[in-house]
Amino acid sequence: MIKAEAALRRLKDGNVRFAAGESDPDTRRYAVRREQLTEHQEPFAIIVGCSDSRVPVEIVFDQGLGDLFVIRVAGNIVSKSQLGSIEFAAGVLGARLIVVLGHTNCGAMGAALEAVQRGTVPESGNLQLIVDRIRPSAERALARGGSSGHAELVDLVGRENVGSMVDAIGNTPGMIRRLAEEDGLMVIGAEYALATGAVEFF
């Protein structure tokens, strides 16, 4: 089991390589690694990320098969099903770092911002569930940066949303809270910049 601090360093180092265009070729040796993972897995970190096709988590962090337990959903939101997946990865597989990874120019954040500013409603009720989950973050972002331009506001909503999801995970009673208190489990937020490929942790 890798401790949270070491796992975070591994993610940071991997992202530096990716952003610099210097990804480690060893992470691409899938055939050998695939054979090693047929019976078990020991991911060193859990990533709750957005479904956006421009943010493939393993690539962004320059990791390979079996390294990351990735949960992707539009807007990197957390509900009971995502919490169950996190609890499995932490409680059964032993991962001690949870990262909620948002990104710049996120469409889900933009939709939530539009809903608050203009009262727009998604055509799909399922999409509405996502927007409703992000809405409080959009309201806080508008209160903090109401004079900012649209792009800046969208990114501010994204950071607010990441913080909200970090709180939601960290304050979940039961396994997650116990592992945080007794075994060093850490929950942090991060933002991926589409323009640079860099991840900022916070």
Domain positions in the chain:
4-201
What percent of the chain lies above the pLDDT cut of 70?
A: 98
Region 175-201: what's the mean pLDDT? 98
Q: Which residues pair with 71 in a beta bridge?
A: 48
pLDDT at 177 over 80: yes
Residue 27 scores a pLDDT above 70: no
| Mean pLDDT across 23-41 | 82
Whether the CB-CB separation of 201 and 4 falls below 8 Å is answered with: no
| Confidence check: pLDDT of 30 > 80 | no
**pLDDT attached to residue 2:** 96
Q: Is the pLDDT of residue 147 over 80?
A: no
What's the mean per-residue pLDDT of the chain?
A: 95
| pLDDT in the model for residue 35 | 85
Higher pLDDT pick, 82 / 26: 82
Q: What's the one-letter identity of residue 65?
A: L
Asked if the model's pLDDT at residue 115 lies above 70, the reply is: yes
Report how far residue 91's alpha carbon sits from residue 113's, in angstroms, rounded to the nearest whole number. 36
Say what the pTM is.
Answer: 0.95
Q: How many residues does the chain have?
A: 202
CB-count burial class (<10 Å; 0-12, 13-18, 19+) for 41: middle
Q: What is the arithmetic mean of pLDDT over 8-27?
A: 93
Would you call 179 helix, strand, or coil by DSSP?
A: helix
* Whole-angstrom distance, CA of residue 87 vs CA of residue 93: 9
Contact (CB, 8 A) for 26 and 33: no
pLDDT range class, residue 127, cuts 50, 70, 90: very high
CATH architecture assigned to 4-201: 3-Layer(aba) Sandwich (3.40)
The dihedral over CA atoms of 52, 96, 22, 75, expressed in degrees to the nearest 10, equals 10
